[in-house]
């Protein structure tokens, strides 16, 4: 596992990012590449830890601990250290269909459970993963690999996000004829329209992989909205099996006075419009634009950060991001031990850009929105906020309580709601006749992924709720395995 003394000899290094005030002037990816010598030094830091928690893939205290797709991290770290890049790529692709996606947008729970991280900065696993697959593309090692034999079975995959793509790739590998139905005008789902281009390039990264899958035999149908212009029951008639991978796309709303004012939008509406306009050749023509506006983002997760980064590139006048939770500590708290995901303060790319332009981190913690205020034409102009403190409730759980006298009014002509998602949309699930659980997700046991309807499977956020891209890939691969078993009686898929 790397060099036995590497973790002592070499410090943790990350790729240099483009300067914040430079990168906000375009929509290009903002990471520079590291040279091979430095990458091999980083791989050398992978210690002979005996029990590598980095690839365990468990849920601990509500967060992922280790890699949910069980990447063989110590193995490919050792191969990179020894300069065996092609062998490292082979190990990586054994467990991960799309390392170019996870290497860019996964929050790296593997690093949070790295054994070295108990006492020192962990191994740069995410950087090395990205470097391996990028090298593979550059060297021409990533090539179409269509199955040698077709089974004659047809499978429809509904949704082309990470779960849908993983299911499609694995089912195609098993020899089935796979058709992926996507309701948007381009394939990729969340990868295409839910994540901005500067974080995950659409043409050079996402569509490159889609093209490879097409060359391997997967068929993509866009503008195919099952339940609207595609009849759900026809899929059950025309295909031998169906895999639902629609994601959790119902956003959490903000039930306050003024919610219906013009200029208040869900985050995905904003991000989707921005990326569509960019790909269609006119980033300045986005239907929702932040130019010269006071922008408020409500929600502190990854989607909120992406809204911040997008508004910065659109030239907002000011930017504030509200988070109802308290600011995390700089280091692990006593109730957040290794190998749990470290719930600590981080300055992500969007906040870094806002701080560079406006002088400070745009996030305001322990604050909630009381009401939205508009002008005579019905457009939002400001919002009223109040600070909260978290106190034990009647059931013993912490709950937010308003701090008297802390109400403030702040300017806001564009308000973006990025408070998470509640579950999948109901109409498609009703049309297919699948049962739902108490949280409104598709009822299907993890590991089996079979719904209440024979031959219909479910994977990803529509089954487990809003989660990480690596969990989506985990579930897509698992659903493909069980779908293959259903079709053939047995399966060789991992």
- Model pLDDT for residues 216-275, shown as the tens digit of each residue: 999 999 999 999 999 999 999 999 999 999 999 999 999 999 999 999 999 999 999 999
Question: What is the average pLDDT value for the chain, to the nearest integer?
Answer: 96
How far are the Cα atoms of 109, 188, 235 from residue 425, in angstroms, in the given order? 28, 18, 18
| Buried b or exposed e, range 32-66, using 16+ CB within 10 angstroms | eebeeebbbbbbbbbbebeebbbbbbeebeebbbb
H or E segment at 306? helix 302-313
Q: Is the pLDDT of residue 436 over 80?
A: yes
Closest CA to 475 of 455, 450, 492: 450
Question: Looking at residue 129, what DSSP letter applies?
Answer: H
CATH says 6-139 is which class? mainly alpha
Q: pTM for this one?
A: 0.96
How far is the C-alpha of 234 from the C-alpha of 433, rounded, in Å?
Answer: 13
* Contact criterion met (CB below 8 Å) for 478 and 457: no
The answer for residues whose C-beta is within 8 angstroms of residue 404's C-beta and 6 or more apart is none
From CA 440, how far away is CA 232, in angstroms rounded?
19
Q: What distance in Å separates the CA atoms of residue 67 and residue 469, rounded to the nearest whole number?
A: 11
Extract the tokens encoding 455. Answer: 């031959």
Domain ranges, ordered by start, for the chain? 6-139, 154-249+422-488, 253-419
The CATH H-level superfamily of 253-419 is: FAD/NAD(P)-binding domain (3.50.50.60)
At residue 1, does pLDDT exceed 80? Answer: no
Distances (CA, A) of 335 to 220, 249, 341, 400, 459: 46, 32, 11, 20, 32
Give per-residue pLDDT as tens, 11-69: 999 999 999 999 999 999 998 999 999 999 999 999 888 889 998 888 898 888 999 99
Q: Do domains 154-249+422-488 and 253-419 have the same CATH topology?
A: yes
Q: Are 95 and 88 in contact (CB under 8 A)?
A: no
Architecture of domain 154-249+422-488: 3-Layer(bba) Sandwich (3.50)
């Amino acid at each position: 596992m790397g060099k036995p003394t590497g973790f002592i000899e070499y410090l943790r290094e990350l790729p240099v990012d483009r300067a914040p005030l430079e990168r906000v002037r375009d929509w290009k990816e903002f990471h520079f590449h590291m040279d091979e010598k430095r990458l091999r030094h980083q791989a050398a830091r992978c210690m002979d830890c005996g029990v590598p928690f980095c690839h365990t893939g468990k849920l601990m205290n509500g967060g992922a601990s280790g890699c949910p797709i069980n990447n063989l991290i110590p193995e490919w770290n050792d191969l990179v250290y020894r300069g065996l890049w092609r062998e490292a790529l082979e190990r990586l692709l054994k467990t991960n269909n799309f390392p170019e996606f996870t290497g860019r947008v996964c929050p790296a729970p593997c690093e949070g459970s790295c054994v070295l991280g108990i006492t020192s900065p962990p191994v740069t696993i995410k950087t090395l993963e990205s470097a391996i697959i990028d090298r593979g593309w550059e060297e021409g090692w990533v090539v179409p690999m269509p199955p040698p034999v077709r089974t004659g079975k047809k499978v429809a995959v509904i949704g082309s996000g990470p779960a849908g793509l993983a299911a499609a790739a694995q089912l195609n590998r098993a020899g089935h004829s796979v058709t992926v139905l996507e309701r948007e005008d381009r394939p990729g789902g969340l990868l295409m329209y839910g994540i901005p281009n500067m974080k995950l390039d659409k043409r050079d990264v996402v569509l490159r992989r889609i093209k490879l899958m097409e060359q391997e035999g997967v068929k993509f149908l866009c503008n195919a909205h099952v339940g609207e212009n595609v009849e759900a029951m026809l899929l059950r008639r025309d295909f031998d099996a169906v895999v639902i991978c629609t994601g959790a796309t119902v956003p959490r709303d903000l039930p306050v006075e003024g919610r219906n004012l013009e200029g208040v939008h869900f985050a995905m509406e904003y991000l989707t419009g921005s990326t569509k306009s960019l790909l269609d050749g006119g980033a300045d023509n986005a239907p929702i634009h932040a130019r010269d506006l006071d922008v408020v983002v409500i929600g502190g997760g990854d989607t909120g950060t992406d809204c911040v980064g997008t508004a910065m590139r659109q030239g907002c006048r000011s930017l504030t991001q509200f988070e109802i939770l308290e600011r995390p500590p700089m280091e692990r708290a006593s109730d957040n031990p290794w190998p749990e995901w470290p719930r600590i303060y981080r300055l992500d790319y969007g906040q870094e850009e806002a701080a560079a332009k406006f002088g400070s981190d745009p996030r305001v913690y322990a604050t909630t929105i009381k009401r939205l205020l508009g002008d005579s034409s019905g457009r939002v102009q400001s919002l009223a906020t109040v600070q909260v403190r978290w106190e034990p409730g009647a059931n013993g759980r912490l709950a937010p309580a308003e701090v008297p006298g802390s109400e403030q009014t702040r300017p806001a002509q564009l308000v973006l709601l990025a408070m998470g998602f509640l579950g999948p949309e109901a109409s498609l699930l009703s049309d297919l006749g699948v049962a739902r659980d108490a949280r409104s997700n598709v009822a299907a046991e993890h590991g089996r992924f079979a719904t209440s309807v024979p031959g219909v499977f479910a994977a990803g956020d529509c089954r487990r709720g809003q989660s990480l891209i690596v969990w989506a890939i985990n579930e897509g691969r698992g659903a493909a395995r069980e779908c293959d078993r259903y079709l053939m009686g047995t399966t060789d898929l991992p």
